[in-house]
Amino acid sequence: MPSASFPISVQYCRFCGESHHKSETGFYSIDLEQWFCNTTCYYQTRLSRGELQINNHGISQVLLAMRKENGIYCPKTIKNRKERFQEHVRNGRYKVIRRTHAREDIPIEE
């Protein structure tokens, strides 16, 4: 089995704190300027920011139910996952792939 070389380049989901290899699916939200591993994490973030109405008995209720104890998005589990990820970054095991934007107001130096 080949040995792993460090750091490993990973994508980092801004809501759930999961790390994913660059070849795994996910998407970058231009409006939130963050990468998400799935649409549920995207909508969970929008709910947290108050961009989805809590009184919406559709999607908001489902998203809130997912956050309950032992749920898919239990806050305690997410907190632990994010702390573990930060430790991997500090130790040099992970390197986060960051998306950069070209700015028109800054000339390209050659």
AA identity, residue 33? E
Is residue 80 a contact partner of residue 7, using CB atoms and an 8 Å limit?
Answer: no
Q: Where are the domains of the chain?
A: 8-96
CA–CA separation, 42 and 26 (whole Å): 10
Asked whether the whole model's pTM tops 0.85, one would answer: no
Annotate 45-61 with b (16+ C-beta within 10 A) or e (fewer): bbbeeeebeeeeeeebe
- H-type alpha helices, 1-110: 39-48, 59-66, 75-90
Tokens of 65: 């139910």
Task: Print pLDDT tens along the chain (110 aa).
Answer: 445 677 889 999 999 999 998 888 899 998 898 999 999 999 999 999 988 866 666 888 889 899 998 778 999 999 999 999 999 999 999 999 876 655 555 555 65
Is residue 89 a contact partner of residue 3, using CB atoms and an 8 Å limit?
Answer: no
CA–CA separation, 101 and 19 (whole Å): 22
Q: Is the dihedral of CA 10, 16, 17, 18 positive or negative?
A: negative
